[in-house]
Amino acid sequence: MKPISIAAIATAMPIREIDNEFFGQNLKESKNKMFMGTNKRRHLGRDDNASDLIVRASKKIMDELNLDGGKDIDIIITNVSIPDQPFNGCGAVVSEQLGAKVKYIFDLHNTGCVSFIHMIDLARALMTANNVKTALVASVQSAAGRIFSQEDVKTRPQAAIPGDGCGVAYLVNDDKSPIISLVQENYPAYSNDMYASFECGRKWWEAGQSSGHIDFNPAKTAKITVRGNKLVPTISKQACKEAGIRTEDLDYLITNQPNIFFLRNWREALQLSEEKHLHTFEKYANLFGAGIPVTLCENIHNNRVQEGDIICLSGFSHAGDYAAACILKWGGQAFIA
Amino acid sequence: MAIINEVEMSKIPNLKRVEITSKDEMGGILSDLTHAVYPHDELYGEFCPVHTYIDCPPEKVFDYMSNVHSLEEWSYSVRDLVPADNNGLFVGKDKIGDNTKIYCKMVTNKEALLVDYHCAWDQGDDLWMIYLNRIVPADLVLNKPGSVVFWQNCRHPHYDNNPYKDKAPKGRPWVGDFWDMFYAGHMVELMNLKRILEFRHAHNLPIGPFIEEGSV
């Protein structure tokens, strides 16, 4: 495969900052450590679109690299957790607003928290096989404002954990900031352990009395925890092995950020110090698929990640149905936080 | 001196004994088996051992643990045990599940300091959830007064597949779904046991369990 690089990465966060007060007494009185550790998060407003965030972040990249939308973007790939429209994806909306003339648009709806890596893999395959040179990949988490801010949902103990945000990367066919290795696994047996849940029993497309939220199978919570604990270190090690490096050679680890325990357990399992495990959980909460690119971008921006650093991006999605990891050698290119 | 028949031993493959495995080779085998970290399911997938030191004499620990009502003090959620028959079977509530009955029978050996709890949810005919406890005088193993308690649990196949589904309250999660949390749950309970026994021993109190008068 041709080497591909992250030529630039940018974020766009919703303006609305939500503190813990928003979730009321239940959160304050909750003694469950599982739902602690976040101080703030962003929420997408009712009239905000995920596509707006993608456009905002993409324009930062286009300005920084002086890109011409009409010829410098060949592929747009998006993943939005709770889409703007249930029927058609937002990739075409993004393309229109960027004035792009692209060869392919994909709006993906799986691989949640590892969608960024999944999209890089897809872009790499297309860029290798179809002689296209560039791709814009965008991961947006929108479930916090759209689901967990609703009156009958926000008092649930887990409502404070999701946060909204968007990360966009511009991929090119060169080896300046290369993806050295990338591995993906899927575990279909776990695909039914997470779902939309409605108190009133309605289907998601039906009218009803309850807003609904995203839930895990309660009988599987212990299994999902142990699954998650194992999946991420395992796939991270696999990516390191494929890259021909040892985990101790990593300068940084960036994972998805579901809660403080997973973060702790993953770095413990990989024997990496807290300083080497970058995340933005306290400030942005669980950004689902946007977590990895947002954390990467912020840490390039604040000079923590330096040219030449070897970084492992990894995570698992939903209740463990997908896991992915890649090794990136950061080449010191453009970044726009 | 008894002489081991090496011919007989050589019939069993893959043994590591000094006669056939050199110390040099053994060194490599041990290094290979020694990891810096171990996945949770490798340590606790099939067996769940927990253990602790308790600053309380072994006889007192035995007396306490072999009283079935002690479970109502040191377990997280086993409560309201009453006799279910005349053969030492008790039934109570496991408050971790909604409407969940737990059946329990003690199997003890004072000389060996063994206290085993043979239990099951929902029915008392097949007591398959077996908690094995061995109390060891700490002066033997740690050269100090007190006790060491080893608590073992094995992953009986029923944890993964409840054969008595018809007896289970509707919608209640199955105990075995939480096997992966057993290490944590048992450790929390073992710490309860340690705190109760150390408190009562340190304050020269009766060891308990403290049962309300006239309640049993």
Query: What are the tokens at A317?
Result: 């999605």
Q: ω before B58 within 30° of 0 (cis)?
A: no
Phi and psi, residue B57, nearest 5°: -60, 145
Cα A329 to chain centroid distance, Å, stands at: 19
DSSP B47: B
- Predicted local confidence at residue A35, as pLDDT: 83
Query: How many CB atoms are located within 10 Å of the residue B149 CB?
Result: 25
CA distance B52 to chain A (A): 23
ipTM attached to this prediction: 0.81
Distance CA A231, CA A237 (A): 10
Residue type, A240: C
A233-243 per-position pLDDT tens digit: 999 999 999 99
- Predicted local confidence at residue A33, as pLDDT: 82
Per-residue pLDDT of chain B (216 residues; tens, 9 = 90+): 999 999 999 999 999 999 999 999 999 999 999 988 898 999 999 999 999 999 999 999 999 999 999 999 999 999 999 999 999 999 999 999 889 999 999 999 999 999 999 999 999 999 999 999 999 999 999 999 999 999 999 999 999 999 999 999 999 999 999 999 999 999 999 999 999 999 999 999 999 999 987 776
Task: For chain A, positions 228-257, list CB contacts with chain B under 8 A.
Answer: 229-230
Q: Is A268 on the interface with B (CB under 8 A)?
A: yes
Q: Is A261 on the interface with B (CB under 8 A)?
A: no
Chain B environment of A218 (Cβ under 8 Å): 173
Mean pLDDT of chain A: 94
Q: Is B83 on the interface with A (CB under 8 A)?
A: no
pLDDT-wise least confident of A218-232, A248-262, B83-97: A218-232
Residue type, A56: R
- Predicted local confidence at residue A26, as pLDDT: 82
Nearest Cα residue in chain A from B184: A222
Sequence length of chain B is: 216
Distance CA B123, CA B11 (A): 46
Q: Which residue has the higher pLDDT, A311 or A30?
A: A311
Whether B39 and A271 lie within 8 Å, measured CB to CB: no
Distance CA A172, CA A133 (A): 6
Q: Is B174 on the interface with A (CB under 8 A)?
A: yes
Q: Is B37 on the interface with A (CB under 8 A)?
A: yes
Whether A222 and B178 lie within 8 Å, measured CB to CB: yes
Q: Is B93 helix (H, G, I), strand (E, B) or coil?
A: strand
Chain B environment of A225 (Cβ under 8 Å): 180-181
Q: Which residue has the tokens 């990739």?
A: A91
- Predicted local confidence at residue B216, as pLDDT: 64
Q: Is B143 helix (H, G, I), strand (E, B) or coil?
A: coil
Q: What residues have CB less than 8 Å from A173, skipping those under 6 apart? A: A2, A3, A4, A5, A127, A133, A134
pTM score, two decimals? 0.89
Q: What residues have CB less than 8 Å from B32, skipping those under 6 apart? A: none
Q: Is A226 on the interface with B (CB under 8 A)?
A: yes
